[in-house]
Structure 1
Amino acid sequence: MLRRAVVGVCVSFGVLICADVFEPSADAQSSMLVLEDFQAKEADGFPSNWDHESQRSQSKGREAYKVQSENGAHFLSAKDAGQRIKKKKIDWDPKAYPVLTWRWRLNKATSGAEPIAAVYASLDTDLLFIPVFTKYVWSATKPEGTLTEGGMFSGSEIVVQSGTRDVGQWFEERVNVYDDFKRIHQHEPAAKAWGISIIAAPGVDIDFGPLVATSAK
Structure 2
Amino acid sequence: MSCSALMLVAALSTASVQAQGPTTVEVARFSASKPGTSLPDGWKPLTFRKILRLTTYELVEDGAQVVVKAVSDSSASGLTKEVRIDPKEFPIVRWRWKVDNLVQKSDATRKDGDDYPARLYITFEYDPDKVSFGKKLKYKTGQALFGDIPIGAINYVWETKAPVGAILDNAYTDFVKMVVVESGPSQIGLWVDESRNIYDDYKRAFGEEPPMINGIAIMSDTDNTKERAIAYYGDIVFMTSR
Tell me the TM-score range normalised by the shorter chain. 0.7 to 0.9
> Equivalent residue for 2:216?
196
* Distance change (3 Å), C-alpha of 1:86 and 1:163: same
Counterpart of 1:143 in structure 2: which amino acid?
P
TM normalised by structure 1 equals 0.73
TM normalised by structure 2 equals 0.66
* Distance change (3 Å), C-alpha of 1:115 and 1:175: same
1:130 and 1:206 map into 2 onto residues whose CA distance is: 24
> Equivalent residue for 1:5?
none
After TM superposition, give the deviation of residue 41 of structure 1 in Å. 7.5
Bigger shift: residues 158-167 or 142-151: 142-151
1:105 and 1:182 map into 2 onto residues whose CA distance is: 27
1:208 aligns with 2:208: no
2:48 and 2:176 map into 1 onto residues whose CA distance is: 21
1:179 and 1:170 map into 2 onto residues whose CA distance is: 25
C-alpha offsets along residues 160-206 of structure 1, whole Å, 9 cap, x if unaligned? 0011243221111111111111222233222x311111211331111
Counterpart of 1:213 in structure 2: which amino acid?
F
* Distance change (3 Å), C-alpha of 1:41 and 1:83: farther
Q: Size of the alignment, in residue pairs?
A: 187
> Equivalent residue for 1:33?
25
C-alpha offsets along residues 67-118 of structure 1, whole Å, 9 cap, x if unaligned? 1223442211111263232433323221111111111111234532443321
Q: Is the 8 A contact 2:98 2:189 kept in 1?
A: yes
Aligned-pair identity in percent equals: 24
After TM superposition, give the deviation of residue 138 of structure 1 in Å. 0.3
Counterpart of 1:186 in structure 2: which amino acid?
G
1:93 aligns with 2:86: yes
SS in 2 for 1:178: helix
Counterpart of 2:232 in structure 1: which amino acid?
D
Counterpart of 2:168 in structure 1: which amino acid?
T
> Equivalent residue for 2:11?
none
Name the structure with the higher helix share. Answer: 2
Q: Is the 8 A contact 2:90 2:240 kept in 1?
A: yes
> Equivalent residue for 2:121?
120
Q: Is the 8 A contact 2:102 2:184 kept in 1?
A: no
Matches within 5 A, 1:1-217: 30-38=22-30, 39-40=32-33, 45-46=38-39, 48-54=41-47, 60-61=54-55, 64-80=56-72, 82-109=75-102, 111-113=104-106, 114-125=115-126, 127=128, 130-131=149-150, 132-150=152-170, 152=173, 154-190=175-211, 192-202=212-222, 203-217=228-242
2:183 and 2:53 map into 1 onto residues whose CA distance is: 30
Higher Cα radius of gyration: 2
After TM superposition, give the deviation of residue 60 of structure 1 in Å. 3.6
2:164 and 2:179 map into 1 onto residues whose CA distance is: 8
Root mean square deviation of aligned Cα: 3.0
Q: Is the 8 A contact 1:125 1:194 kept in 2?
A: no
Structure 2 runs not aligned, ≥5 long: 1-17, 107-114, 129-138, 140-147, 223-227
1:65 and 1:153 map into 2 onto residues whose CA distance is: 28
